[in-house]
Structure 1
Amino acid sequence: LSLSLSLSLSLAHLSLSLSLARALSRLRSLSLSLTHARSLGRRLKEQQDMAAAVIQRCYRKYKQLTWIALKYALYKKMTQAAILIQSKFRSYYEQKKFQQSRRAAVLIQQYYRSYKEYERVKQGPRGPGALNTRLKGSFLTKKQDQAARKIMRFLRRCRHRIKELKQSKELERK
């Protein structure tokens, strides 16, 4: 009995030690797989963090580029508006200057014609003040010539300016 008991105990002990060895082996493998899982988890977390950083960097760059594009478009529109305003103002200014010169020329012509008519009516062709009249006439003719030269010079400048403006508009269109 004691032999059978001892055999049975030793079998139980052997069986227990085998199951204990299996349990220890399983525990070790679980421990290894747990540390392996932790290192995999760490690597996965690092990859996720790096991917998030790349996505954020790309988004910031995209946002910055679109902002720059919007600012450039606004700058271009404002520049075009300023150019348009400047050209309209210059045109208006040149027109006013031309009209003023034209009015001055017409006024000079009116005064001259009025004076000529007055002198013609006042004295005959060979009256007492004929010499004085001739001197006045030559003086007025000289004044009229100067006024005419001044007007012609202004008109030439205006034509030249108009030609320059047309050329600059053609260059802008190209």
Structure 2
Amino acid sequence: MIEGVLRHCTDVEIDQQYTDTHGASIVGFAFAHMLGFNLLPRLKNVGSARLYRPAAGEGETWPDLAPVLSTKTIDWDLIRQQYDLRKDGDPTGSDKESQEVSMLALHLLQSALVHVNTLLPQDILSEEKWQKRLTDADRQALSPLFWTHVNPYGRFELDMHRHLALSLVPASASVPGPRTSPTAAAVPQG
């Protein structure tokens, strides 16, 4: 989103940028403000969203917000307990075991993402038309370390009855081999 505002290849001065729900984040609003344009997200389900109350019995404090206030209150203790995996580069948690569990969960998430990011291109590259289009340089540039399709903010719904329609092709079938530099292939090992 920011890249499009900064490098749109025209002389037009951008003063507002629309984005979908996934583009709405504290970081996005901060950068938009610093760069001098308004971030205008289209928020999915904004009509049904409700704000939690800071504490019970405070409904009259904000009468103008009554239509969007939930009857639920913010669980401040839960937020204090689970806010942030890391602080100043150090894992947070009440003890070493909870820190380790947090880091293992993060590692599992990263590993799963790399696995899916390997399966997606592998599935596409199993089609002959794509195999013929890729050059050696294209194959060398393939990496499972992309994340533009990841939504780090917003709402997540897990449906265990749905899955990615990936045809798990055998590793030997039409998948690029390991990368080797031209100089490494010419140097004898030993």
Give the TM-score category using the shorter length: under 0.3
- What TM-score does the superposition give when structure 2 sets the normalisation length? 0.21
Q: Which has the larger radius of gyration?
A: 1
Higher normalized contact order (CA 8 Å, seq sep 6+, divided by chain length): 1
In proportion to residue count, which structure has more strand?
2
- What TM-score does the superposition give when structure 1 sets the normalisation length? 0.23
